[in-house]
A and B are shown apart, each in its own frame.
With several copies, the nearest count.
Chain A
Amino acid sequence: MLKIKNISKQYKDFTLDNFSFSVNSGDYFILLGESGTGKSLLLEIIAGLITPDKGEVFLNNINITFKKIQKRNIGLVFQDYAVFPHLTVKNNIAYALKAKKLKKKTINKKTIEWAEKMNISHLLERQPKTLSGGELQRVALARTLALEPVCLLLDEPLSSLDIHLRKELRYLLRKINNEGITIVHVTHDFEEAIALANKIGIIHNGKIVQEGTPKEVFHNPKSKFVANLSGIKNFYNAKIKSDEIVMLENSIEFKHFSGRTHGSGFVMFHSKDVVVSKNQIDSSMSNNFQGVIVDMIPTKHGVEVIIDIGIIISALITQNSVDKFNLSKDSSVWVGIKALAIKFVENK
């Protein structure tokens, strides 16, 4: 019911080009993309803050491209909050309600209700400039949610919030969505996408490069970019040379078991499938390379080791192994990957 059709917007050194997608009524659509790819721009075009150079926006089959902002009934939560600096938190939240000319009592009730939901009841009388980043973000959310629009646009609405609040608000957003409000949510956090969306769009270089359910997108990434977003760190352009050999990034040959004899596309494998050792490993693994450690990053599940073997690969190993082999930056190591762990995805 929200349909974006061939939207273009040209700036001096940025172009949003022939952008199209559609969101069904009741969908929770998440737009994932890197910094500066035009996510905020797109939301502002949908909300009417910016007029596109070309293209149309439809809401429930009505062309709203030139409808007035205040008539669109689309709520937008700004990335930079845009909280009114001269109004208290309470009046910020009540702002939309007052515009609707509700009864004073109703306004008061709703304001308090939403403040409670956002955990900011204790801040109601505060001036915005005394608030912390996360507090401001919640005020911005409460202000728009209180409006109960038919369509909700969220621009990185949880970026300043801690795990705890994020969890609560994700719950709330899902609830709101279940109540029938269509949500378009912009983020660069793919866990958020998995936790919330029933449909995902990946935006890259001013275009949607992949679209589908979270599962479809993350299990079949169509580009290195998508793969990276989904946490797969090892993703390379590849060309199959024979039923055994695949050439990665035109520079290094891997053994594979994909059952194919030709074609080009991508190869990917998980960091945890990469085995690291100090000396060459004598095992059933068919891909063995020597390389140099470029970087080591502690993570929740162990240490991510970045190794240059001609191409840059990422291996996830335990702290134990690191200690055992006494690994450190610039150590020379051997890596092994089973041919079975190599996944080939054909290009188009």
Chain B
Amino acid sequence: MKNNYSALNLIFIFLGSIVLLFIVAPLLGMLLNTSPAELIETTKDEEVQKSICLTLTTSFLSTIVFAIAAIPMAYLLARKDFPMKQLVLGIIDLPIVIPHSAAGIAILGFISRDSVIGRIAESVGLNFVGNPAGIAIAMAFVSIPFLLNAARDGFMGVPERLEKAALNLGASPTRVFFTISLPLAWRNIVSGLILMFARGMSEFGAVVIVAYHPMITPVLIYDRFGAFGLKYARPISVVFIIVCLVFFIILRMLAKEKKTQ
């Protein structure tokens, strides 16, 4: 196409640049206020390393574990009609909107020693509060809607006709799901997974109520900020953001590869 530079394109590029600038400017401001020496020092700080690892792994695991249930649910929401579906769809969006500390309080009630789940966990010697598992649950709660919505949109974009064609070829519904629906919705699901993963990593308000320790990076930043001020919190933020950026780029590239295979 030789339409690369049509008026519309120029307007779009202009608008896109504004958005990009809007995102980049604050980040750049943060980066420029941090000296390389500080960055290096922060990278070497064992507490920082540990917390970034913890954040990445808990969010990653919580994303993976909950995806196993959320993706099938998204499929149902895309394919089936049932009474009160609109209500269910509305409910699904709620965790996004709940004030984070309220979410934390709600989850605490859900997993604390007095709750059903808490008691079951205790009987096997597990206490969710102050435990990575509890952190993962808090992360999942606030971030699962992003996966659900993205996956649902993805599945809605898969023509039912192709699924039926696959059934006609003798494939079981399970096979059809894994070989047709899932791959065709893959792009959206990956987007959803990345959003869920990212959103989980950033959660502070809910996590800090469930578990101040072990410290995930947002809590660590808050803690350092409270104790020592911006100067000590900023380098951690920058390191964390850089690590995340690298992660996202890798994830997106992997996802792309998967698709073009």
User: Which residue numbers of A lie inside 8 Å of B, CB to CB?
Assistant: 47-49, 51, 66-70, 72-76, 78, 82, 84-86, 95-96, 99-100, 143-144, 147
Inter-subunit contact A70/B173 (CB<8 Å):
yes
Inter-subunit contact B183/A69 (CB<8 Å):
no
In the complex, which residue of chain A has the Cβ closest to the Cβ of B169? A96
The 9 closest A-B pairs by CB, nearest first: A96-B169, A69-B167, A99-B171, A82-B165, A70-B167, A49-B164, A99-B170, A66-B2, A86-B183
**B170, B172, B180 — most chain A CB neighbours (10 Å):** B170
Contact residue among B1, B168, B179 (Cβ-Cβ distance under 8 Å from A76): B168
On whether A96 and B171 interact (CB within 8 A), knowing A66-B2, A68-B2, A68-B6, the answer reads yes
- Taking CB atoms, residues of chain B closer than 8 Å to A72 are 168
In the complex, which residue of chain A has the Cβ closest to the Cβ of B165? A82
In the complex, which residue of chain B has the Cβ closest to the Cβ of A95? B169
- Taking CB atoms, residues of chain A closer than 8 Å to B80 are none
Considering the chains assembled together, what is the distance between the CA atoms of A257 and B199 in angstroms?
87
In the complex, which residue of chain A has the Cβ closest to the Cβ of B180? A84
- Taking CB atoms, residues of chain A closer than 8 Å to B2 are 51, 66-68
In the complex, which residue of chain B has the Cβ closest to the Cβ of A99? B171
- Taking CB atoms, residues of chain B closer than 8 Å to A68 are 2-3, 6, 167
Inter-subunit contact A49/B168 (CB<8 Å):
yes
**B2, B166, B168, B172 — most chain A CB neighbours (10 Å):** B168
List CB contacts (< 8 Å) of B149-179 with chain A.
Answer: 161-162, 164-173, 175, 179
9 contacts between A and B (CB under 8 A): A70-B171, A70-B172, A74-B168, A76-B165, A84-B180, A86-B183, A86-B184, A144-B168, A147-B169
- Taking CB atoms, residues of chain A closer than 8 Å to B3 are 68-69
- Taking CB atoms, residues of chain B closer than 8 Å to A76 are 165, 168
In the complex, which residue of chain B has the Cβ closest to the Cβ of A78? B165
User: Which residue numbers of B lie inside 8 Å of A, CB to CB?
Assistant: 1-3, 6, 161-162, 164-173, 175, 179-180, 183-184, 259
- Rounded to whole Å, the gap between the CB of B6 and the closest CB of chain A is 7
Considering the chains assembled together, what is the distance between the CA atoms of A49 and B168 in angstroms?
8
Considering the chains assembled together, what is the distance between the CA atoms of A59 and B132 in angstroms?
58
Considering the chains assembled together, what is the distance between the CA atoms of A85 and B170 in angstroms?
18
**B165, B169, B170 — most chain A CB neighbours (10 Å):** B169
Inter-subunit contact A144/B169 (CB<8 Å):
yes
Considering the chains assembled together, what is the distance between the CA atoms of A325 and B165 in angstroms?
46
- Taking CB atoms, residues of chain B closer than 8 Å to A67 are 2
Inter-subunit contact A70/B165 (CB<8 Å):
no
Inter-subunit contact A82/B161 (CB<8 Å):
yes
Inter-subunit contact B184/A69 (CB<8 Å):
no
Considering the chains assembled together, what is the distance between the CA atoms of A76 and B183 in angstroms?
23
- Rounded to whole Å, the gap between the CB of B92 and the closest CB of chain A is 25
In the complex, which residue of chain A has the Cβ closest to the Cβ of B6? A68
- Taking CB atoms, residues of chain B closer than 8 Å to A47 are 168
On whether A84 and B162 interact (CB within 8 A), knowing A68-B6, A95-B179, A99-B175, the answer reads yes
Considering the chains assembled together, what is the distance between the CA atoms of A236 and B2 in angstroms?
47
- Rounded to whole Å, the gap between the CB of A268 and the closest CB of chain B is 41
- Rounded to whole Å, the gap between the CB of A240 and the closest CB of chain B is 51
Considering the chains assembled together, what is the distance between the CA atoms of A49 and B166 in angstroms?
11
- Rounded to whole Å, the gap between the CB of A92 and the closest CB of chain B is 10
Considering the chains assembled together, what is the distance between the CA atoms of A262 and B4 in angstroms?
60
On whether A95 and B1 interact (CB within 8 A), knowing A70-B172, A86-B184, the answer reads no
- Taking CB atoms, residues of chain A closer than 8 Å to B168 are 47-49, 69-70, 72, 74-76, 144
Inter-subunit contact A51/B1 (CB<8 Å):
yes
In the complex, which residue of chain B has the Cβ closest to the Cβ of A70? B167
- Taking CB atoms, residues of chain A closer than 8 Å to B259 are 86
- Rounded to whole Å, the gap between the CB of B52 and the closest CB of chain A is 36
- Taking CB atoms, residues of chain A closer than 8 Å to B171 are 70, 95-96, 99
**A74, A75, A86, A100 — most chain B CB neighbours (10 Å):** A86
Inter-subunit contact B162/A73 (CB<8 Å):
no
Considering the chains assembled together, what is the distance between the CA atoms of A143 and B162 in angstroms?
13
Considering the chains assembled together, what is the distance between the CA atoms of A82 and B163 in angstroms?
9
In the complex, which residue of chain A has the Cβ closest to the Cβ of B260? A127
On whether A147 and B170 interact (CB within 8 A), knowing A51-B1, A51-B2, A86-B183, the answer reads yes
- Taking CB atoms, residues of chain A closer than 8 Å to B179 are 95
Considering the chains assembled together, what is the distance between the CA atoms of A76 and B180 in angstroms?
17
Considering the chains assembled together, what is the distance between the CA atoms of A250 and B172 in angstroms?
54
In the complex, which residue of chain A has the Cβ closest to the Cβ of B160? A49
Considering the chains assembled together, what is the distance between the CA atoms of A66 and B165 in angstroms?
17
- Taking CB atoms, residues of chain B closer than 8 Å to A75 are 168-169
Considering the chains assembled together, what is the distance between the CA atoms of A156 and B4 in angstroms?
31
- Taking CB atoms, residues of chain A closer than 8 Å to B169 are 75, 95-96, 99, 143-144, 147
Considering the chains assembled together, what is the distance between the CA atoms of A69 and B172 in angstroms?
9
Considering the chains assembled together, what is the distance between the CA atoms of A28 and B180 in angstroms?
32
- Taking CB atoms, residues of chain A closer than 8 Å to B180 are 84
Considering the chains assembled together, what is the distance between the CA atoms of A14 and B168 in angstroms?
25
Considering the chains assembled together, what is the distance between the CA atoms of A60 and B179 in angstroms?
31
- Rounded to whole Å, the gap between the CB of B115 and the closest CB of chain A is 42
Add 17 more A-B contacts to A85-B162, A95-B171 (CB < 8 A).
A51-B2, A68-B2, A68-B3, A68-B6, A69-B168, A70-B167, A70-B171, A73-B170, A76-B165, A82-B161, A84-B162, A86-B184, A99-B170, A99-B172, A144-B168, A144-B169, A147-B170
- Rounded to whole Å, the gap between the CB of A99 and the closest CB of chain B is 4
Considering the chains assembled together, what is the distance between the CA atoms of A86 and B169 in angstroms?
16
- Rounded to whole Å, the gap between the CB of B168 and the closest CB of chain A is 5
